[in-house]
Amino acid sequence: MPLIKNKPSVQVSFQLVKKELKLVESQILDQVKAFDPALEPYMDYICNTSGKRIRPALAILAGGATGGVNDDHLKIGVILELIHMSTLVHDDIIDGADTRRKVPTANAKWGNGMAVLLGDALFSHSLLLATEFDSIDICRKVGKASREVCQGEVIQTQRRFDLTLTKDDYFHIIEMKTGALFAAATGIAASLSEVSEDVETQLYNYGMKLGTAYQIYDDCLDLVGTEEEVGKTLRTDLEKGKLTLPLLNLIEQATPAQREKLNKRIIEQQPLDLPVLIGIAEYEGAVESALDTAANLLQEAREDLQILPASKWRSSLEEITSYLDGLLDKCRK
């Protein structure tokens, strides 16, 4: 399987919530002013490296689908996006990444130490912002999601180059590190609409499955994408011994001789470079199988939405899964 050319990064248009996402964007930039003047230039840089804003879009769509979008849905979107951004600042330190979204990372610009502290400041601000809801329940849900993300990151780092990592372990990690914030976006948005517990749970589940599928896609992209198109440093998973689903499939499907060769590299903490992987039979099959797993999760996520009355919002939540399906398909080419 060759590297994919012309592989676009995720760019869902989110047409339905375009207006709301503009407000979210401006509210994110407004946060810069909440910091001490000394921090403003840093925060301005970090907040201006525009992301895909998937989490805010999910919160807004879930709000629309559960009775109508209000300011609270925008606010939870902003908060979860800021939390996400603060984790990216720290992720880039861990991964030694110098580029994200085609611009230098905080660590590349100001060094690792400063990036640690800037991530902390942004993270603490996000959690403080959550107290503006005047609802302990919402604060608790935001806090829990944040802790999940952090714990997922710890376990992922702990288990690098760890051959005993099972697929269950992998799912546990990605549900925490990625699923939790997606699920918080849709679940908390439902909670803010004061819907029944059942609807909130189903929307939470939708977010969890979508987030998990998205992470599997991202893990496949790290193997088969190109840096020019994706706009960030790739192949870091291989270098860092991060055993993602396609790699776990590969290890599982390899012949005993191939497995030994692969294991040797992992145990010696040598980078798992692509030529070595492609040399192993079933490399394509291993990626395909991971993509299938993601597609199944997306199907389940669509089913979770059936509890909602039909609406343009529900359709848009469905379209996101279809869009991601399309991206998975491009990885197969």
**Shortest Å distance, C-beta 225 to a copy of itself:** 23
**Shortest Å distance, C-beta 48 to a copy of itself:** 18
**Shortest Å distance, C-beta 332 to a copy of itself:** 33
Is there a contact between 318 and 298 (Cβ–Cβ < 8 Å)? no
Interface residues with a copy of itself (CB under 8 A) are 35-36, 38-39, 42, 87, 90, 93-94, 112-114, 116-121, 123-125, 127-128, 130-131, 133-136, 139-140, 143-144, 146-147, 149-151, 153-155, 157-158, 176
* 276 Cβ contact list (under 8 Å, min separation 6): 261, 262, 265
**Shortest Å distance, C-beta 237 to a copy of itself:** 14
Residue 160 or 330: the one with the smaller Cβ distance to a copy of itself is 160
Residue 177 or 265: the one with the smaller Cβ distance to a copy of itself is 177
Residue 124 or 296: the one with the smaller Cβ distance to a copy of itself is 124
Query: What DSSP designation does 276 have?
Result: H
Query: What DSSP designation does 281 have?
Result: T
Residue 143 or 279: the one with the smaller Cβ distance to a copy of itself is 143
**Shortest Å distance, C-beta 201 to a copy of itself:** 20
Is there a contact between 320 and 185 (Cβ–Cβ < 8 Å)? no
> Distance between CA atoms of 55 and 317, rounded to whole angstroms?
12
28-44: b (≥16 Cβ within 10 Å) or e = beebbeebeeebeebbe
* 5 Cβ contact list (under 8 Å, min separation 6): 226, 229
**Shortest Å distance, C-beta 143 to a copy of itself:** 4
Beta-bridge partners for 100: 103
Residue 14 or 182: the one with the smaller Cβ distance to a copy of itself is 182
Residue 12 or 155: the one with the smaller Cβ distance to a copy of itself is 155
* 176 Cβ contact list (under 8 Å, min separation 6): 148, 149, 151, 152, 155
**Shortest Å distance, C-beta 325 to a copy of itself:** 31
Residue 90 or 265: the one with the smaller Cβ distance to a copy of itself is 90
Gyration radius (Cα) of the chain, Å? 20
* 226 Cβ contact list (under 8 Å, min separation 6): 3, 4, 5, 7, 234
